[in-house]
Amino acid sequence: MAGSGPDVVIVTGGSRGIGAAIALRAARAGYAVVVNYSADADGAAAVVGTILAGGGSALAVRADVGDPDAVTALFDAARALGPLAAVVNNAGITGNLIGPLAEVPAATVRRVLEVNAAGLIFVCQEAVRRLSRDRGGRGGSIINISSTATKAGSPGTWVHYAASKGAVDVLTVGLAAEVATQGIRVNCVAPGSTNTGLHAAAGMPDRVERLNSTIPMGRGAEPDEVAAAVLWLLSAEAGYITGAVLPVSGGR
């Protein structure tokens, strides 16, 4: 049986960066938060600890979104906190490298697509199974995290990553139309250059700063600015919005 309590949001990849900012902002908005992680147990524990210290409800759950069985287990674990209301599909990787597509190892391509594209699909499938009113659910919201890298394709750096995020945009539009009558809204937030550890992990810690001159607002985003857009799309104020891809990019 599902536990009783506040509305629950699952945030995949919630242990750091944009995912952590979304989890913390969701907790402040009154959600019970499932902080999903794949490897960063310490980061997930820190996010959960911050939420609990603030009087909120949270749970860290390890699951590789590229594994559909692990995704099912993640959703099962979320029932302990209360009724599921929303899912933020944030987990994503670059393969921790920067360079031309011809030099990206096959194993990296497969893993990036497994997490960013297949994993996204697995999470959306399970979310629909749990939220759809046609399946006995109470409706809810799915937010997918894409990237404005899909606009130019990230030549010379992350073409493989940009391609995987293109799948996020297409899935958002198609799934939104498919489940609109089932009480589920599906939207997407596409961050631009953002101050997270993603760039340092790929070997270019100053990448955001290098891109500042190409951004009309002259700076990269902070993770909490992306999180604010996510929480707005989850809110009743955005109740008539579905199938949208919202850039949070400073105009780039």
Q: Left (φ > 0), alpha (ψ -120 to 50) or beta: where does 168 sit?
A: alpha
245: enclosing H helix or E strand? strand 245-248
Tokens of 174: 């198609």
List the one residue out of 194, 189, 193 whose CA is nearest residue 229.
Answer: 189
CB contact at 8 A, 161 and 117: no
Tokens of 6: 């506040």
Tokens of 166: 């293109």
In angstroms, the CA 223 to CA 218 distance is 16
Q: Which residues contact 176 (CB under 8 A, 6 or more apart)?
A: 185, 186, 187, 242, 243
Longest dimension (CA), the chain: 53
Is 161 catalytic? The answer is: yes
In angstroms, the CA 185 to CA 166 distance is 19
Tell me the catalytic residues.
161
